[in-house]
Each structure stands twice: as structure tokens, then as C-alpha cells.
Amino acid sequence: MAKKIAKRLAKANEGIDRSKQYPLEEAVKLLKERATAKFDETIEVAMNLGVDPRHADQMVRGVVNLPNGTGRSVRVAVFAKGDKAEEAKAAGADIVGAEDLVETVQKGEINFDRCIATPDMMPLVGRLGKVLGPRGMMPNPKVGTVTPDVAAAVKASKGGAVEFRVERAGIVHAGVGKASFDSAAIAENIRAFADAVIKAKPSGAKGNYVKKVALSSTMGPGLKIDPSTLAVS
């Protein structure tokens, strides 16, 4: 099995110039050609930013609605009561609850990918900071997951909303589609993501903000991208 994987990886790396910065469209084409796994590989973009997120004025965080979706099924949980709970269910939320849902999460049962809360639920949801925080799943008004409009938030999450947050090393990354998407759809999603990250540039960022950009698929090679080709036309 190991030999077979090594052979496939070697084949996937054929014709790849590790030192080259590829134009976005060329990189997408090369990745799609090499995405030969038995499942639909995820295309992921990683941006190395000139920030130090240990400083509050250099934190990069936000949300972007990818125009062509992510290609993955997202399970959404909503902390809400009464009419808002009914609105969430009608919008397609997978799990809706209040105190009962808090208790479930406290037990370590997290059967969702993203969670949303109405503002009045946050004193209750705040108890889950130690559980949801390390997973990057704590509802936050800055990314639209603490909101009275739960229906719109659920639909956005289901339709391709992607949260991003810079990591300690200054890298922000996200899945931006599937290898089965056509090249134009992948490129459009990547440009939308890059545009959102650029617009989220913090006040404390000095010098070169976008240092490096790389594109990869789940089982494929990583390709350097020419940042100048990411501009939204």
C-alpha cells in the first residue's frame, strides 16, 4: 500500500516546478489533472500573511461566501428558542436547541461543523468557550454567527460561507471547492477568498501583507501561486 501511494505521489509531482510561482488558472488546471484519488479531493488555498496574530491589531478574521459553494455538506447547529428556533429549522438547520443543546456539547457530543446563536443565547453559549473555542466554532458576531437573523445565517452556512482566521504562524487557509468543480468555478472561489482576506487586512499589518500563496488538493502536490494573478477583475 505504501509503495502504491508513493508511486502515485511521484506521478502527481511529475512536471511540477517547486520554485515557480504559477498563474492561478494554470495551477488549478495542474491540480485538477493530478487529483486522481478515489474520492472527490478538496482544493485548499493557504495564504502566508505578514502579520503576527499575537498582537490584537494584527488579527485577521472574517467570513466569505464562496460564489460556487464548497462542495461539502455542512451540518449546522443553532442555539435559539421559540420563533427563532422554528426559523432555524425551516431554513435547514440540522440541530436546534437551547439548554439541552448546551448540555449535549458539554458532554463532548459535537455532531455539527458550524454553529450559530441568537444574541440572547450567548450568556448560555458562553459556557462552551473551552469546548468550541479550540475548534474555532464559537459563535461570533464578527463573522455573522451571532445574529437575530438565524435563517439567513443558516442558508449562508449551507450555501458556501467559509470562516477564516489567521493561525499563529501567520497562515490563513480554507477549502475552496472540490476537484470535480470546473476550473473557472475553482478560480472564482479562490479569488473571492483572497479578496476577503485582503479586505480583512488589520490596522497593525505593516509592509508586505500577502507574502506567499499556495494551492493544493487533498492528495496532490502543493503549488506556489503568483499573488498578482489573484486580483478580482
pLDDT of res. 232: 60
pTM to 2 decimal places: 0.78
Cα separation of 164 and 55, whole Å? 17
The 10s digit of each residue's pLDDT in 97-121 is 999 999 999 998 999 999 999 999 9
Q: Which helix (H) or strand (E) holds 211?
A: strand 210-217
- Cell for 14? 511529475
pLDDT of res. 213: 96
Confidence label for 220 from pLDDT (cuts 50, 70 and 90): confident
The 10s digit of each residue's pLDDT in 86-102 is 999 999 999 999 999 99
pLDDT of res. 163: 87
Confidence label for 134 from pLDDT (cuts 50, 70 and 90): confident
- For residue 166, what is the DSSP state? -
Q: Which residue has the cell 488555498?
A: 45
The 10s digit of each residue's pLDDT in 38-49 is 899 999 999 999
- Cell for 111? 455532531
Cα separation of 13 and 39, whole Å? 19
Write the CA distances from 116 to 76, 77, 113, 149, 222, integer angstroms.
Answer: 8, 6, 11, 10, 33
CB 107 within 8 A of CB 146: no
Listing DSSP states for 34-56 in one string gives H--SSS-PEEEEEEEES--TTSG
pLDDT of res. 73: 85
Confidence label for 11 from pLDDT (cuts 50, 70 and 90): low
pLDDT of res. 23: 95
The answer, yes or no, to whether residue 9 has pLDDT greater than 70, is: no
* Mean pLDDT value of segment 73-88: 95
Cα separation of 230 and 90, whole Å? 37
